[in-house]
Amino acid sequence: MGMVDIDNAREGMISVEDVLNKQGNVLLKKGTILTKALIGKLKSLRISGVCVKNAEENNNTDNTSPEVSTQLEELEHRFSDVMGNAIMEELMAAIKEYIEEKGGSNGTY
Amino acid sequence: MAHINLENKLAKIIDLPTLSVVANNIILITQNPKSSALEVGMAISQDQALVSKILRIANSTFYGFPKEITTITHAIVILGFANIRNLVLTASIVDMFPSSGGDGHFDREGFWNHSLACGVTSKLIAKRLGINNLEEVFISGLLHDLGKLILDTYFSEDFTRVFCMVEEKEILIREAEQELLGFDHAAVGGIVADKWNLPPALIKVIRFHHNPPLANESMRMAAIVHLADALCRAIGMGNGGDSKVPCINEDSWKLLGLSRQRMKRLFSEMEKEIANAKALLALVE
């Protein structure tokens, strides 16, 4: 769980914490499934974000952490001269999947 | 540009590195199947620093023996001649070319990290292929780039030019060596390994790790190291001196024959085993 920016909030997400206004009144109860209307309402009330399940996956539009992006860029650079070779393309695809699945949890090879 | 004749150039270098007399003796004795553990032990005992290194390594978690090994003869019996020879070789070469050495153009620490990763990966591949002499495979991977250490130490001006070209043209180190010098680190490593009387299969791997089919009877071992080298570079383990991945030889790739899932499992094993092996290298230094 964690905070998701209101601009990245989507229908179907589930709030895991009450959303309060400055006066402490509950605007959205914990456990609510977000709808378009609710998100619009929160935006109009200038609420900056909502705590939802799996927020980390939702804050980046492409779901890729900066560490993973760097590793993928370096990978592409290393393979840039051997593209077109079927073996090397297969190897690169396997490493790419490996990096993505690992999610940049350990970049220190 | 006139290329440097490798044999002539090497011949002119009087102080071309030699293994210590003790290390040389141990390599020769352990290659003779008629030698006894006692003979090997006597040869090792000539160098007390080596004795303590071997005992330290034999008792490390890398081997994980349940009981403490307290005598060199016990270590020889437990580890076997091949392992002892490999430890002596590794210790001697790491002593000669420590990771903290070099003139700065060549990243020695990155070099040893890459070499270690290559040794570990070679061993993992060999294990998958059901090969028995895993320690021989490990040392082949560890020492496959010996020629780069020789170039860095004894041809440092030439090697600096190589690095400039690698950076400028973004090419493989081997391509820059061939263009500037007319030979590559594999050729240099092969000549020095031969001069040091290393086991014939190891000489072949060092010489032909970029072109395994030329290694004849040692082709399988050369193919394993060739693959391991490419995999480690591909995944970015250590630093071989350039930032690109060389093309993998097709026959060597077929030898590996892994599905994508299995390949990913291999990458994961590589990371785990390399972390263990780093502790071993620290003990050798």
Q: What is the pLDDT of residues A36-69, one digit of tens each?
A: 778 888 887 888 888 887 665 555 455 667 788 8
Residue B181 sits in the same domain as residue B259: yes
Q: Which of A78, A85, A93 comes nearest B247 by C-beta?
A: A85
What percent of chain B shows pLDDT beyond 70?
94
Higher pLDDT, A91 or A39: A91
pLDDT above 60: residue A108: no
Of chain B residues 104-123, which have a CB less than 8 A from chain A?
117
Our measurement of the distance from residue B118's CA atom to the centroid of its chain's CA atoms, rounded to an integer in Å, reads 8
Measured distance CA(A26)–CA(A42) in Å, rounded: 12
Least confident piece of the model among A81-85, B102-106, B213-217, B225-229: B102-106
In which band, very low, low, confident or very high, does the pLDDT at B83 lie, cut at 50, 70 and 90?
Answer: confident
CATH number at residue B117: 1.10.3210.10
pLDDT above 50: residue A109: no
Last residue of a domain, one of B40, B73, B96: B96
Average pLDDT, whole number, for chain A?
Answer: 80
pLDDT at B14: 53
Residue B113 sits in the same domain as residue B238: yes
Does residue A47 sit at the B interface (CB-CB below 8 Å)?
no
What percent of chain B shows pLDDT beyond 90?
49
- Tell me the average pLDDT across A71-84: 91
pLDDT at B221: 94
- B249: domain range? 99-285
- Tell me how close the Cα of B136 comes to any Cα of chain A, in angstroms: 24
**pLDDT tens sequence across B163-191:** 999 989 989 999 999 999 999 999 999 99
Among the listed residues A86, A97, A72, the one whose alpha carbon sits nearest the alpha carbon of residue B247: A86
**pLDDT tens sequence across B188-211:** 999 999 888 888 999 999 999 999
Measured distance CA(A7)–CA(B154) in Å, rounded: 61
Residue B221 sits in the same domain as residue B116: yes
Residue B68 sits in the same domain as residue B89: yes
What percent of chain A shows pLDDT beyond 70?
83
pLDDT above 60: residue B249: yes
Least confident piece of the model among A5-19, A52-66, B233-247: A52-66
- Tell me the average pLDDT across B46-55: 90
pLDDT above 80: residue A2: no
Residue A51 sits in the same domain as residue A11: yes
Q: Note whether A109 contacts B268, CB cutoff 8 Å.
A: no
- Tell me how close the Cα of A5 comes to any Cα of chain B, in angstroms: 34
- A80: domain range? 66-102
Last residue of a domain, one of B96, B118, B144: B96
**How many domains does chain A divide into?**
2
pLDDT above 80: residue B5: no
Residue A54 lies in a domain: yes
**pLDDT tens sequence across B111-161:** 988 999 999 999 999 999 999 888 889 999 999 999 999 999 888 888 999
The type of residue at B125 is: I
Last residue of a domain, one of B61, B79, B96: B96
Per-residue b/e over A8-18, b at no fewer than 16 CB within 10 Å?
bbeeebebbee
Tokens at residue B51, please? Answer: 């004795």
Residue B126 lies in a domain: yes
Q: Quote the Cα angle for B92-B49-B134, to 5°.
A: 50
Residue A18 sits in the same domain as residue A40: yes
Average pLDDT, whole number, for chain B?
Answer: 88
Residue A108 lies in a domain: no
The type of residue at B157 is: E
CATH number at residue A49: 3.90.105.10
**How many domains does chain B divide into?**
2
Q: Note whether B236 contacts A81, CB cutoff 8 Å.
A: no
Residue A107 lies in a domain: no
Which residues does residue A15 pair with via DSSP β-bridges, in sequence order?
A52
pLDDT at B196: 86
